[in-house]
A and B are shown apart, each in its own frame.
Chain A
Amino acid sequence: MRRLGNRTVTLAALLAASLTVLVLSRGGATRPLETVAFAPLQPIQRLVNNVSTGFITRSEQRQEIEELKARVRELEQTVAAYQVDLVRLREIERDYDRLSELLDYSTQAQDQQLLVADVIGRDTSGFLRFIVINRGARDGVRVGQPVISDRGLVGRVGDVTATAAWVRLAIDQDSAINARMQNTRTEGTVVGQLAGGMRMQFIPQEAVIEEGDLVLTSGLGGNFPADIVIGQVASVRAQEAELFQEAEIRPTVDFDRLELVSVITAFEPVDPTLFEETIEEELEQTP
């Protein structure tokens, strides 16, 4: 009876302590403590992560070699076909440049500043999809900044300490990104899926989407620069009874093998007021 009493008292005390820490942490009060506690763990965590990622990558690479050999032969044939297209497109590009100069038109440089970071860990919770990187507030990383890799969009910074940051991946359940199709310019919202993929929602029914279409950030909302690659359409689900169609997106980034990412610490967001001004001007001109 006494033993049960001790256990219950300990349980109640530790539950109360956990909830207190939770409330304090949510309010940011534990941030200095977390910074101090996490800093010495970072090098060890980086080592463990590098070893495990390297091991997994190497073992998977061996299996992939045979598949890749067959794929190389297939791609060589495709490249030959694309070279014909490339010559044609270069001609079009030259025409475009000449016409742009004539019209005194220039595409606005996005003026991005990148900060390279190592991935040192992954979220320990099964429900959340975060990675930990070895750059923090001291390096200029702030909550909300976009994170990319050489293959495309990775996610957004969700939390920062002085020396590390937690990046919410684009495949996280709570991630929502304004996106558009490269070919048709159709817009929608890309959300994360539990199974690890992504889904593009709110695509108008009349939009024509095909498998393999490239999905890019639209830049609307100002959270991400425009035209970062998110993935490719894997399948489309369109039902006449519904207002919108949906598309399963195959990410271009392999989120399980991320080792190096770049945080976009500064970029020129898409200015939605430009569109508002255009609409107002059109309205004014309308008799």
Chain B
Amino acid sequence: MNLATGLPLLFLSVLLQAGVLTHLRLLGGQPDLVLLIVVSWSLLGRNPEGIVWAFAGGLLLDLFSGAPLGVSSVGLVLAAYVAGVGKGQVGLNNVVLPPVMILVGTAIYHSVTLALLVTLGMYPPLWMDSLTYVTLPSGILNFVLVWPIFRSLGFLYARLRSRRSTQ
């Protein structure tokens, strides 16, 4: 994903996450749109594009958060790295790997973010409660949304690749 496509996509997803998806709460959880995009792109795109977009997306997310800059980047970069392990083994019709990777990615992203917030003294160390009330519902919402987002990004990836090959 080049800069001209990736940056507006990330901007849009961060704006939607901060302005719209915060209303779609399930208990304490909400869909992590940037994580969904980053994990999907890590499965589809060239190495190590997913990790780079995870870093940029994390910084953008933190601009809209009360947390310090960099908190979301750490978790997203690690989630994208792990998702990238599945790179090359996944086609657009794969119904197993994207949901599995988003669940793993949600667990990594939330655990790392929680650990950093607790370390920074911005959040009480309520590990089990937080993972139950926030991470688990977020994981369910991400699981539901991963398929349409993975498919949409798959079409985008195919278009970008065909355009690149014709040039």
Residues of A participating in the B interface, judged by any CB pair closer than 8 Å:
3, 6-7, 10-11, 14-15, 17-26, 30, 34, 37-38, 41, 44-45, 48-49, 51-53, 56, 121-128, 130, 132, 158-159, 166, 168, 173-174, 194-196, 256
By a CB distance below 8 angstroms, the chain B residues around A41 are 11, 15, 63
- A273–B73 Cα gap in the complex (Å)? 46
Identify A21's interface contact among B30, B73, B84, CB under 8 A. B73
Provide 26 A-B residue pairs closer than 8 Å at the C-beta atoms, listed in order of the A residue: A6-B47, A7-B81, A11-B51, A14-B55, A15-B74, A18-B58, A18-B74, A22-B74, A24-B69, A38-B63, A41-B11, A41-B15, A45-B19, A48-B16, A49-B18, A53-B23, A121-B19, A123-B18, A123-B66, A124-B72, A127-B113, A127-B123, A128-B66, A128-B67, A195-B27, A256-B25
| B153 in the interface (beta carbon within 8 A) | no
Separation in Å of the A66 CB from the closest CB of chain B? Answer: 22
| B40 in the interface (beta carbon within 8 A) | no
B73–A14 touching, CB < 8 Å? yes
By a CB distance below 8 angstroms, the chain A residues around B71 are 22, 125
Separation in Å of the B123 CB from the closest CB of chain A? Answer: 6
- A212–B25 Cα gap in the complex (Å)? 27
Separation in Å of the A163 CB from the closest CB of chain B? Answer: 13
By a CB distance below 8 angstroms, the chain B residues around A125 are 61, 65-67, 71-72, 113, 117
By a CB distance below 8 angstroms, the chain A residues around B54 are 14
A25–B69 touching, CB < 8 Å? yes
- The binding surface of chain A is classed by DSSP as helix
Given A37-B63, A52-B19, do A126 and B70 touch, yes or no (CB 8 Å)?
Answer: no
Total count of chain B residues near the partner, CB < 8 A: 59
- A199–B11 Cα gap in the complex (Å)? 37
Given A22-B71, A38-B63, do A128 and B117 touch, yes or no (CB 8 Å)?
Answer: yes
By a CB distance below 8 angstroms, the chain B residues around A3 are 47
- The 8 A CB mask of B87-106 against A (1 = contact, 0 = none) is 00000000000000000000
A123–B51 touching, CB < 8 Å? no
In the complex, residue of chain B having the shortest beta-carbon distance to the beta carbon of A28? B68
Given A122-B18, A256-B23, do A10 and B116 touch, yes or no (CB 8 Å)?
Answer: no
Identify B64's interface contact among A20, A21, A123, A158, CB under 8 A. A123
A7, A34, A45, A125 — which one has the most chain B CB atoms within 10 A of its CB? Answer: A125
- A120–B98 Cα gap in the complex (Å)? 33
